[in-house]
Amino acid sequence: MPHTFKIGVLAAAVMAVAPAAQAFEAGDFILRAGAAHVAPDASSEQIKVGGAAFPTANSRVDVDANTQLGIRGTYMVTSNIGIGLLGATPFKHNITGAGDISADAKLGETKHLPPTLTLQYYPMHSSSAFQPFVGLGVNYTTFFEEKTSSTLTNVIDGALTSTNVGSTKLDLDDSVGVAVEVGMDYMLSENFGLNAAIWWADINTDAKVSVYDTAGNFVAATDKFEVEIDPMVYMVGFTYKF
């Protein structure tokens, strides 16, 4: 038997009896970081003042996409059950026109943070380097630094012929809703790996635009109108287990 063949057989035998490296076990903390892309599937109610359409017959808004640094942590309760928390650097979205308002018109912008807590299930044995998972939980989204644009202010100024509009203000309520996720990790070593995940989150906010004259006095406000954002969130990155 050739010497190199004997070495190969011996190496295979050693690998066969060696214990498999454990991927995820009870008590492990798993940290994931990477690019997170929020792609809203947005729609809104008609914008009204006092129940009447404003400033045009079918004024609505849309929300664009944004990518930020996503950070996810999981604590493994057992080798198959984990508790996951999604965080990120603040996402920034432009609010644009829809319906009668041109989609090219930027009406405002906002930032948001979407912490999401999920209960995760990992079906594979802990010895598997490939670890897919599914999760179900709750999303809390908080909006801040809401701003309107000069475009919106000018449109409202043209519609309110009885006063000279000096500024406008946007308010967005926070949101609580269901979140679901599907993801996977592939461990390259005992501690490091690659990951990818997709979420859907039920994010709805009530919006209101307040109008002020050139002296800063309150003039009017839109009725609150619901904006359904309901984004898909895509993330790819790296995994570290400790």
Q: Which domains does the chain have, with CATH numbers?
A: 28-241 (2.40.160.20)
Q: Are 195 and 238 in contact (CB under 8 A)?
A: yes
Provide the pLDDT for residue 156. 87
Residue carrying the six token digits 């059950």: 81
Give per-residue pLDDT as tens, 8-42: 433 444 343 334 456 889 999 999 999 999 999 99
Cα-Cα-Cα-Cα torsion 9, 11, 12, 18, nearest 10 degrees, comes to 140
Mean pLDDT of 61-77: 96
Read off the tokens for 49: 């003042």
Which spans in 38-149 are helix H?
Answer: none
CA of residue 146 relative to chain centroid, distance: 17
Question: How far, in Å, CA of 202 to CA of 107, rounded?
Answer: 23
The pair of three-digit structure tokens given for residue 204, joined into one six-digit string: 């709805």
- Mean model confidence pLDDT for the chain: 89
In a 10 Å sphere around its CB, with 0-12 CB exposed, 13-18 middle and 19+ buried, how is residue 11 labelled? exposed
DSSP type of residue 129: S
Question: Do 16 and 30 meet the contact criterion of CB atoms below 8 Å apart?
Answer: no
- Give the integer Cα–Cα distance in Å for 193 and 82: 17
| pLDDT grade for 52, boundaries at 50, 70 and 90 | confident
* Spatial distance between the Cα atoms of 149 and 13, rounded to a whole number of angstroms: 69
The three-point CA angle 179-83-81 to 5° equals 110
